[in-house]
Amino acid sequence: MCNALKEMKIVLCLSLFLFLAFSCSGERPKGKGKKQDKADYRKERKGREAKKVVPKVLAKRLEYTSAQVTISSFGKVEAYHKLDVVSEVGGKIIDGDVVLKPGSSFKKGELLLTIDSEEASYAFKARVSNYLNRLAQVLPDIKIDFSNKYTDWAAHFEAIDLNKDLPELPKISSTQENTFFASQGILSDYYALKSEEARLKKYKIRAPFNGHILDVLLEKGMVANMGSRVLSILSDDEKEVSFPLTLKDLEYVKIGQSVEIKNEKTEHKWRGKVARIGAQVKANTQSVDVYVRIEDGQKLKDGSYVNGVIQASKIKDVFALPAVALLSDQSVYCIYKSVLHKHDVEVVHSDAKTVWIRLLGTDGKAEVMVVMESLLNAVEGMEVEIR
C-alpha cells in the first residue's frame, strides 16, 4: 500500500514538471511562427516606403540659343593726354595766364607761361631790317629784268612790318627768276627769317587742351635752358581706362565695342568704346590690356579705379546655366526617367553668376533636362522629382 502511494506521488510530480516546462518554453506549433514573421516584415517594409521622401529639384529642358557676352573687369583711369612741357628755347620764365602751381586748371589756347624773349625779338627785327635793305637794292634790277613781276615784289616789300609776321614770297615761275633771286641771297635771307620767326613763337607756350597742371619743375623767375622740363600737364575732357582681360575673354573683344563704366564709390556712369587692344601678354598675370576711350570724362580722376562691362561678341548654340549648378569636374546633373545622371560639358564662357555650356555627345535636340541648382549630397543614380 505504501509502495503504491509512493509511485503515484512520483508520477504526479513528473507530470507537473513536464507541464510547467512546456508552458514556460512558449513553443508554438511548427509553421505558424514563420508565417507570422513574414507578415510582420512586410508590414515594416511598407511603413519604411511610406516614409521615403523623393527630393524635388529645379531643372530646365536643354535648348541651345545665342547669347550676348558681357565681360566685366576693373581698370585704372588715365588721362588720354598727359605730357611734359619742355622749353625749346632758353631764358627766364615769366608768368602767363595760368598760376604755375600743381592743380591749376587751364583752357585750350591759354598762355601757360612765357620765356623772356626781349633779346631774341630785337635780334629778329635787326635781321628783318637787313632783309628790307637787300630787297631795296634789287628792286631796280627786278623792274628791268622781270618787269612783269616788279609789282608783286614791290607789294611784298611794302607789306613787311617789323611787328608782324613776314608776308609770303611772290611766286617764282621761271628758272631765270629762281637763279636771280638765289644769287642775290634773297631766298636764303627770307627762309632764315621765317625760321627765326617760328623760333620766336616758342617763347610763348600755350595749352594744347583743357586740363590741369600735374607738376611744376621750374617756377616763375627761374631760367630754363633749351630742353628743360618745365611742367607736367594732363587733359580733363578725354580719359582712357586700361582693363586687363584673359586670353579667353579677349576672343570676344573687338575695337569699337561699347563699354559701360561705373565708379562704385560715386555711382556715376560713363559710356566708352574699345579704342585699342594690347599686343603683349603680361608675364605675371597672363592678361592683355584693352584700352577704352571715354569722351566725356571730366568727373573721372586720373589714377582712380573703375568697373567696366564690355558688350562683346555674341556666342551661338549655348545653354545658360547658373554657375552654382556646374560641378567641380566640369560636368552637370541631368535627369533621365526621374534619375540623376552626370554629363560632361564644354564651358564656352562664364562670369561670376552664369556659365554658358554645351553638353558633350548631344546635338541639343534630344529631350534632356538639366539641373539648374546646386544639390546637397546628390549622387549619380539618385531618384528625384522635377519641380
pLDDT of 83 above 70:
yes
In this prediction, residue 2 has a pLDDT band, given cuts at 50, 70 and 90, of very low
d(CA 15, CA 10): 9
Element housing 340 (H / E): strand 339-350
Segment 15-20 mean pLDDT: 58
- What is the reported pLDDT for 371? 93
Q: pLDDT at position 45, please?
A: 57
In one-letter notation, the amino acid at residue 171 is K
pLDDT at 383 over 70: yes
Contact in structure between 332 and 345 (CB atoms under 8 Å): yes
Count of CB atoms situated within 10 Å of the CB of 49: 8
| One-letter amino acid of 347 | V
pLDDT tens digit string along 122-142? 999 999 999 999 999 999 999
Q: Are 190 and 131 in contact (CB under 8 A)?
A: yes
Widest Cα–Cα separation across the chain: 197
The DSSP element (H or E) to which 179 belongs, if any, is helix 175-183
DSSP at 383: B
Q: Which residues contact 307 (CB under 8 A, 6 or more apart)?
A: 72, 73, 74, 261, 262, 263, 264
pLDDT band at 26 (very low <50, low <70, confident <90, very high): very low
pLDDT at 203 over 90: yes
Cα–Cα distance for residue pair 212/232, rounded to 1 Å: 9
Residue 332's nearest CA partner among 366, 358, 367 is 358
CATH number of 56-66+316-386: 2.40.420
| Percent of the chain predicted with pLDDT > 70 | 86
258 Cβ partners below 8 Å, 6+ apart?
271, 272, 273, 310, 311
Domain ranges of the chain: 56-66+316-386, 71-79+237-314, 82-110+207-235, 119-201
pLDDT in tens, 345-365: 999 888 888 999 988 877 655
Q: Residue 171 CA to chain centroid, in angstroms?
A: 55
pLDDT at 372: 92
In this predicted structure, the answer to whether residue 31 has a pLDDT above a threshold of 90 is: no
> Does residue 73 contact residue 274 with C-beta atoms inside 8 Å?
no
% of the chain at pLDDT higher than 90: 53
* CATH fold for domain 82-110+207-235: OB fold (Dihydrolipoamide Acetyltransferase, E2P) (2.40.50)
Alpha-carbon gap, residue 307 to 241, rounded angstroms: 10
- What DSSP string runs through 280-301? S--TTT-EEEEEEEESS-TTSP
Q: Give whole-number Cα distances, 91 to 96, 108, 185, 220, 302, in Å.
A: 15, 24, 31, 11, 32
Query: Rounded mean pLDDT of the chain?
Result: 85
Tell me yes or no: is domain 71-79+237-314 CATH 2.40.30.170: yes
Task: Report the pLDDT averaged over residues 166-193.
Answer: 91
State the Cα–Cα distance between residues 262 and 39, nearest whole angstrom: 72
Specify the residue for cell string 513536464.
18
- pLDDT number for residue 367: 78
The number of helices, as runs of H, and strands, as runs of E, in the chain is: 7, 21
Q: Cα separation of 77 and 39, whole Å? A: 80
Q: Does pTM surpass 0.85? A: no
User: Which cell is 335 given?
Assistant: 535627369
326-337 core/surface letters (b: 16 or more CB in 10 A; e: else): bbeeebbbbbee
